[in-house]
Structure 1
Amino acid sequence: MIHQWQLSRCFNIDDLRKLAKKRLPASLFGYIDGGSDDEYTLRANTSAFDRYSLMQKALVDVSEIDLSTTVLGKKIDWPVLCAPTGMSRMFHHEGERAVAREAAKSGTFYSLSTLSTTSIEDVGRETDGPKMFQVYVHKDRELSREFVQRAKSSGFDALCLTVDLPAHGNRERDLRTGMTLPPKLTAKSVLDVLLHPAWVYHYLTTDAIELANVAHKIREGSGEVSNLLQYVSKQFDPTVCWEDAEWMKSLWDGPFVVKGIMSVEDARRAVDIGASAIVISNHGGRQLDSSPATIEMLPKIADAVGGQIELILDSGIRRGTHVLKALALGADACMIGRSYLYGLAAGGQPGVARAIQLLRTEIELDMKLMGCRQLSDVTADCLYFRDQ
């Protein structure tokens, strides 16, 4: 059992990561923590922030700091959104509910994944905070249409289409650990699992883990929950194109977000179809390895379409300084996924709260040290670029 004092001894996101590693069986921690191939992009997403330094202004009254901003038509209390992450109940039995509740308490968006282990309807009932539903264009177009209608009926405020998954990346950590969905006890994994009795207890005593939004389709097809990954793999459609993105937007009445943009050309196409925002993302380094870090692409994209569409930076954010560097380079907000999943795995909703508190406190303190009183003060003048 994780006690509050253990979370209080976590002083940054990496401390939560270490606690999550102790808490979880190796295959599940590897699923959160890993990337594709050699994990170059996974590492670069964070290390690329180091090429930028933050400048300070002296003798500025910073007794009051305002972190609030408006994203997707909603005023939020700080410029960080909770990204969609799949299958969260594998990492803690409270899963998506815990993250949704804590996002609402912290005054920001929660994004629910299509591949969640809590349904659209349950999350809609769980919180009245700002919510976004993440969707794919499936081979079964009627399933995509169904998801959109369910999100509307459940009070979601925005729809997010992920476009960087025409196929699954080569995630070698999962192959080595034998990661499966749902997790299975095997001769290889039994000892590791037995070393994590709290996780085993909750896994055995709470509702079975399933992909809650598609469970009915899986049962219609085979009646076996063991076919989850096979079903998901079959539903990803490599033929999806911009016309499909336009079709998806036509089904939704509110803010529409395209997630997985990594080029100026694609950013312009998103503007052309009338998207409200793009998420500059390489799926956290879990898809194409050796793709650029997202912070490297942000300035080019901001120069091309900044002011025409909202820009949200995803992937690699572990510090408040990372958020401020992204804002200075033209982002309107940032997204975190792994950062809150480490907290969730470490201690459920209190762990998510600790992750959010750490980042938010860092942002506020760093703004004081920079001499910035509000987010609009965080501009390119606050950066020094080290070209080496």
Structure 2
Amino acid sequence: MLVDVSSVDPATTVLGQRVAFPVLLAPTAFQSLVHPEGERASARAAAAAGTIAVVSTMSGYRLEDVAAASPGPKWFQLYCYRERDVTRRLVERAEGAGYGAICLTVDLPRVGNRERDLRNRFSLPPTVRPRNFEDFVDLEGQPNEVFFEYIQRLVDPSLTWDAVDWLRSITRLPVLLKGILSPADAKRAADHGV
């Protein structure tokens, strides 16, 4: 109390990366729904603010395009897929594009039923597609149901700590877990080196 805070510097280091303040830009799917530059613009904004952009697997732009759009640091958010080759290839692409970490989402064992979207008949416009999956499945011109069914089948509901260990074994990047909420899970994550 009663400490001079007239010149406070909130800058810190996160996994060796200097950031202007300890806030990261969270991964959000299909940002091009609200702006034509979507994730590319967000990555540039994060860089301008001096922080890290965490880029969603469900980006409307390929992860390489987002990386090329901004010189700032980026981490790649990932789901673990039943087809481990899909997971491996996405990780390899993130490494090749210069991402600094993999953020594995662990609190989404199944894609939600999104009843409000169903009631409102929400659908992605034809120009907004999950571009990171173009190497695995041809979704161009397909109705949204095809994409959502594909993702529902792809996400691995049997994700365990063994999958986290496997992910760590296939990448040189740090692996972070997105969705850890309890102290017990945080300790277990630390025990697994993440």
Deviations 1:297-351, CA, capped at 9 Å, x for gaps: xxxxxxxxxxxxxxxxxxxxxxxxxxxxxxxxxxxxxxxxxxxxxxxxxxxxxxx
Deviations 1:95-134, CA, capped at 9 Å, x for gaps: 0011000000000000111111111111111112111001
TM-score normalized by structure 2?
0.92
- Report the secondary structure of 2:91's partner residue: helix
Residue 142 (structure 2) aligns with: 225
The reply on whether 1:164 has 2:83 as its aligned counterpart is no
The answer as to whether partners of 1:218 and 1:224 remain within 8 angstroms in 2 is no
Q: Which has the higher helix share?
A: 1
Give runs of aligned pairs for residues 80-159 of structure 1, distance below 5 A. Answer: 80-159=23-102
Higher relative contact order (CA 8 A, sep 6+): 1
The reply on whether 1:253 has 2:187 as its aligned counterpart is no
Give the Cα–Cα distance (whole angstroms) in 2 for the partners of residues 230 and 168 of structure 1. Answer: 9
Residue 187 (structure 2) aligns with: 268
Deviations 1:185-239, CA, capped at 9 Å, x for gaps: xxxxxxxxxxxxxxxxxxxxxxx211010023221xx764322212111111111
Q: Which runs of 5+ in 1 are unaligned?
A: 1-56, 185-207, 276-388
The answer as to whether partners of 2:11 and 2:19 remain within 8 angstroms in 1 is yes
Aligned length: 192
Deviations 1:267-313, CA, capped at 9 Å, x for gaps: 111101101xxxxxxxxxxxxxxxxxxxxxxxxxxxxxxxxxxxxxx
TM-score normalized by structure 1?
0.48
- Report the secondary structure of 2:137's partner residue: helix
The answer as to whether partners of 2:95 and 2:173 remain within 8 angstroms in 1 is no
CA RMSD of aligned residues (A): 1.6
- TM-aligned CA deviation for residue 240 of structure 1: 1.4
Greater C-alpha radius of gyration: 1
- Report the secondary structure of 2:135's partner residue: helix
- Report the secondary structure of 1:225's partner residue: coil
Question: What one-letter code is carried by the residue in structure 2 that aligns with 1:225?
Answer: Q
The answer as to whether partners of 2:12 and 2:22 remain within 8 angstroms in 1 is yes
The answer as to whether partners of 2:105 and 2:179 remain within 8 angstroms in 1 is yes
Give the Cα–Cα distance (whole angstroms) in 2 for the partners of residues 259 and 211 of structure 1. Answer: 20
- TM-aligned CA deviation for residue 170 of structure 1: 4.0
Percent identical pairs in the alignment equals: 42
Closer, same or farther: CA 223–173 of 1 in aligned 2, 3 Å: closer
